[in-house]
Amino acid sequence: MDFMRIDAGEATVVFDLRLPRQAAVAFLGPRLPAEAKLEDLTVLLEEGPRPSTADAPPRVSLCPAAGEGFQGTPGIVLADGALVRFELAAVREDAGGQVFVLEDLQAGVRLTQTWRAFEGSFLIKTRLDNIGVRTIGVARLAVVCLPLPAWAAQRLTFSGRWAGEFSQRALPIPDGSHEVASRGGRPGFENAAFLVLGGEGLSDFGGDALALHLAWSGNSFSLVERLGFGEGQIQIGERLEAGELSVAPGEGYDAPAAALVATGAGRNGLRQAFHRLAASVGAPLSGPRRVHFNSWEAVYFDFDIERLKTLAMEAAALGAERFVLDDGWFANRFSDRSGLGDWIPDLERFPDGLSPLIAHVESLGMDFGLWVEPEMTNPDSVLYRTHPDWVLAPPNGTAPTQRGQLVLDLSRQEVVEHLFDVLDQLLRDNKIAYLKWDHNRDLFPCSSPRRQTIGFLHLLDRLRAAHPNVEIESCASGGGRVDFGLMQRCARFWASDNTDAVERLAIQSSASLFLPLNRLGSHVGASPNPITGRKVSMAFRARIAMFAHMGIEADPGLLGATEKEILASHIALYKAHRTLIHGGRFLSSKGDDPGVTLWQCTAWDGAESLVLAARRDQAKALVSPPLRLSGLDPSRRYRISLIRPWPDPAWRFLPDAGAWRASVEASGALLMQVGMRLPLIHPETAWLVHLKAVEEHSS
């Protein structure tokens, strides 16, 4: 067998098995025709001689290594400098997918890589085994190595900072090596765990695109490399510190899994494949995504139980279904400088514990959630005073703080045991449906971020096994810990602490490239916003939050009667349409006006669609181009409703407001090819449009 093919929905990968020692990806992209003869690739992909290079230059194989003369960045580097020269020992198929086994008997290493196909994506698992007689130190191991596609012209980066996550930019691919790494002990805001390539003509709905994602909650790297003779490669893997990973004889290292998507359907092609993968591998969700009320921006640390009971009544009146008590509930926690690590209710605020508040919340028809940050402690805490040796600190030095916090050393078993015991007791003593699990600082100094991450995952897994009905949200200063490894454990991700709806337009557009809307938390914040100071209308705030897992962060007591009415009506809309929002096909685009963001959730059968058309800034032109929709059935006719309240002053520029009040009809073909014109020239304008297919009746 010279070539082998794996199909994953609309994607195909073909492996070249003709190499003397290895296997390599020969093709990765949109699905090849079923009748394509792989033997034809023998001629089509044959390389001629290369001038002034090795007579038999090594290819970018599944794990290129320096021992075979590979001149680029090796996929594997041993700590002692020993050269690796893999040979393809076996190719087999098992229940987990297609398996490739590579061996170097002299170096004493075996690499086993498994490719599992999903709908439009592949999940790749790599294991390194020590088959020799000496312990092996591993300095670098790429989970996935792929040839750099000839069409690749740009790399999409997803960097950012606190309150400015998922900042997307397109950068040209330069010659040489370009490696991005996260070093803070979590995926971080650099997003090294996401590697996206696009062709010259990449758009929202067209063009070649390829994405790699490392499903790992610790440090990672991603590499794009264009070598001098024209060939190139991409890699992704766990970033290892010096001396961090050693493998004894007879033992192995299971590297984090990686997700791979290749499409010819542009950014939305990537989006659909990642959303389907999330549905396949993500933690089970407990029914419809309940509307959250989160207490943080409403009261911060300034509350007592009576204040919280009032908040709960106000939240329930707006339609909230879950009340989440954020920071400040535990002993000695009146600012962010004390109390972390002491996970018992504060007796001043809760003399009878949390149970009376929980009972009150449940009497209002809501369930109860709680904020925790188990991996951290404050110097001013009982935990630190009792166990000062439990924190990450330099040898014979003082542990440095960030946000007044220290990091507990989760590589120590006694620390993990203590955290499990206190969290388990908290969940046993109280009827808690949800934990907002935060992680508000980087790990430093830390000799082994890997062992810290493993300790965190073991703690999380053990807690989930003991309390399987408790949903957990991953929050790390906002979106600092987002990955598909956690998606197998967590029901929700908090994309950003920034609840400014204008900023959230960009954040959620980028985050949704990987995260489905049913796992992406978005809340209606206060106005003016506590982070940006921007004043935004309630309708605009609520509409952005609807296209996610919706929640409220603002203090209802500070809202006017009209604001409450608008918020309550949008919560009711969310509840009425959340099956469509979370179960339909989600598309995000800029349309023909780059200043307008278009979000569209459409039923898979095309029978219904909910559309958000939003503008952040003032338009340069005085006329908005028509909004061309997607995913509708061209043969069906749709009734179009502009959901009230209409944005002001934009609605005053409707040419025939009366016609829109009565509802309008048009065919799917016209809506997709011609579009519909709405006034979208004013800043912070958001139209919400509902389309419903009209049943045709023969006369």
Residue 408: pLDDT band (50, 70, 90) is: very high
- pLDDT per position as a tens digit, 345-362: 999 999 999 999 999 999
Residue 504 falls inside a structural domain: no
Residue 108: per-residue pLDDT = 97
Do 277 and 312 belong together in one domain? no
Of 450, 477, 494, which one is at a domain's C-terminal end?
A: 494
Residue 396: per-residue pLDDT = 83
Average the pLDDT over 397-425 and give the result. 95
Mean pLDDT taken over the chain:
95
Average the pLDDT over 21-36 and give the result. 92
pTM: 0.96
Of 257, 281, 305, which one is at a domain's C-terminal end?
A: 281
- H helices of 22-147, in order, are 41-44
Comparison of pLDDT for 68 and 74, the residue scoring more = 74
Do 342 and 237 belong together in one domain? no
Residue 696: per-residue pLDDT = 67
Neighbours of 608 (CB within 10 A): 18
Positions marked catalytic: 438, 497
Domain with 618 in it: what CATH number? Answer: 2.60.40.1180
Quick check: 522 pLDDT over 50? Answer: yes
Do 257 and 132 belong together in one domain? yes
Which SS3 state, helix, strand or coil, does residue 22 take?
Answer: coil
Residue 192: per-residue pLDDT = 85
Do 209 and 329 belong together in one domain? no
Residue 14 falls inside a structural domain: no
Quick check: 55 pLDDT over 70? Answer: no
Of 494, 521, 548, which one is at a domain's C-terminal end?
A: 494
Residue 499 falls inside a structural domain: no
Residue 19: pLDDT band (50, 70, 90) is: confident
Residue 21: pLDDT band (50, 70, 90) is: confident
> Of 91-105, 221-235, 262-276, where does mean pLDDT reach its minimum?
221-235
Residue 636 falls inside a structural domain: yes
Do 83 and 225 belong together in one domain? yes
Do 62 and 196 belong together in one domain? yes
Residue 239 falls inside a structural domain: yes
- pLDDT per position as a tens digit, 626-650: 999 999 999 999 999 999 999 999 9
Q: What is the 3-state secondary structure (H, E, C) of 229-260?
A: CCCEEEEEEECCCCCCEEECCCCEEECCCEEE
Quick check: 524 pLDDT over 50? Answer: yes
Residue 530 falls inside a structural domain: no
Do 235 and 319 belong together in one domain? no
Q: What is the 3-state secondary structure (H, E, C) of 594-657?
A: CCEEEEEEECCCCCEEEEEEEECCCCCCCCCCCECCCCCCCCCEEEEEECCCCCCCHHHHCCCH
Report how far residue 82's alpha carbon sits from residue 74's, in angstroms, rounded to the nearest whole number: 12
Under 8 Å between Cβ of 184 and 156? no
> Of 54-58, 133-137, 189-193, where does mean pLDDT reach its minimum?
54-58
Q: Which domain holds residue 435?
A: 292-494
Residue 698: pLDDT band (50, 70, 90) is: very low
Residue 511 falls inside a structural domain: no
Average the pLDDT over 498-507 and give the result. 97
- Please give the structure tokens belonging to residue 375: 């991996």
Do 377 and 245 belong together in one domain? no
State the sign of the Cα–Cα–Cα–Cα dihedral 575, 576, 581, 587. Answer: negative
Report how far residue 522's alpha carbon sits from residue 475's, in angstroms, rounded to the nearest whole number: 12
Q: How many domains is the chain built from? A: 3
- Ramachandran angles phi, psi of 505, nearest 5°: -55, -50
Residue 699: per-residue pLDDT = 42
| H or E, element range at 307 | helix 305-318
Quick check: 617 pLDDT over 80? Answer: yes
Q: Could you tell me the end-to-end alpha-carbon distance of the chain, in angstroms, rounded to an integer? A: 61
Residue 58: per-residue pLDDT = 79
Report how far residue 104's alpha carbon sits from residue 109's, in angstroms, rounded to the nearest whole number: 5
